[in-house]
Amino acid sequence: MNCPVCKGKVTGKVGLNQYYCWDCCVEFRLFKEGVQVNEIKEDGSLAAFGLQK
């Protein structure tokens, strides 16, 4: 699975259709409509990065 942001290959599965990129430190989820990307903030919470097709 390649990261939709940096196209890196160092990703891991963290949940159902949910992945983490170790290169750019984002979490992303796969949907039929596209990909939802979240940044992980310093306190561990998620901030919406956007929806990409």
pLDDT band at 53 (very low <50, low <70, confident <90, very high): low
Does residue 1 fall inside a structural domain? no
**CA dist., res. 53 & res. 32, Å (int):** 9
pLDDT band at 9 (very low <50, low <70, confident <90, very high): very high
- Considering its fold, how many domains does the chain have in total? 1
Residue ranges making up the domain that contains 32: 11-52
Does residue 25 fall inside a structural domain? yes
27: number of CA atoms within 13 Å, CB side?
Answer: 15
14: left (phi over 0), alpha (psi -120 to 50) or beta: alpha
pLDDT at 50 over 70: no
Q: Please give the pLDDT value at position 15.
A: 92
Q: Is the pTM of this model over 0.85?
A: no
Instruction: Compute the mean pLDDT over every residue in the chain, rounded to the nearest whole number.
Output: 89
